[in-house]
Amino acid sequence: MNNKIKVILVDDHAVVRAGFRMLLSAEADIDVIAEADRGESACQLYLEQQPDVLVLDLSMPGIGGLESIRRICNRDSSAKILVFSVHDEMVYVDRAMSAGARGYITKNSAPDILVSAIQQIAAGEIYIEQGLMRNRPLLQDYQTVVDSLSAREFDVFLLLAKGLTAHKIADELCLGYKTAANYGTQIRSKLKVSSVAELTHIAMVLGIMKR
């Protein structure tokens, strides 16, 4: 039991939670330790149970998923939260990842995607469902742009992909804040993206960061 991944399921539909629980109960390395039907309960359960991964819907009554992510991450910066939502638009992915989530998949994804996402997030990795990046440039286009980055731009790109803010990047690389922010703007412009989630995905699909 001790080496199992402890999971809390958060969704306002009991039938959906039951389906999640049934699916995950078949996995030898995953243990669903609690459930919640709204964000307020999720925040309290997280503090009490200290799960390895919190699987969270975004659309719920009360404070909702995004605010739940913010509150939990403000209490525990190492929280590992996987969003499992009906929303497949990048604006939701961006907001969830910016709030502190470590992964995002949709409820239309294959069952094994949920299992893989939980396992990889528990291992400290970031997981964004591949299909969410549709209508983006081809892989070779990303590679060409990344290859053209200067050494300093590449350093900033990696730190941005890991979720660091411009302030933290400035400290990490001994740069001025404005310089770090400008690098970030240039990199997003070159890759034609606007969010941290997209930068993270690019780093993962290129093999620069582990999925």
| pLDDT on residue 184 | 93
Give per-residue pLDDT as tens, 111-169: 889 999 999 999 988 888 877 765 455 566 788 889 999 999 999 999 998 888 899 99
> Against a cut of 0.75, is the pTM above it?
no
Judged by average pLDDT, the poorest of 149-153, 183-187, 191-195 is 191-195
Can you spell out the DSSP letters for 18-38?
HHHHHHHHT-TTEEEEEEESS
For residues 64 and 95, the answer to whether their CB atoms sit within 8 Å is no
**For 204, left (φ over 0), alpha (ψ -120 to 50), or beta?**
alpha
Q: How confident is the model at residue 210 (pLDDT cuts 50, 70, 90)?
A: low
Q: Within 13 Å of residue 6, how many CA atoms lie on the same side as its CB?
A: 13
Q: Which domains does the chain have, with CATH numbers?
A: 5-132 (3.40.50.2300), 139-205 (1.10.10.10)
CB contact set of 40 (below 8 Å; sequence gap of 6+):
62, 63, 68
Amino acid at 113: I
pLDDT score recorded for residue 135: 47
* Mean pLDDT estimate for the chain: 87
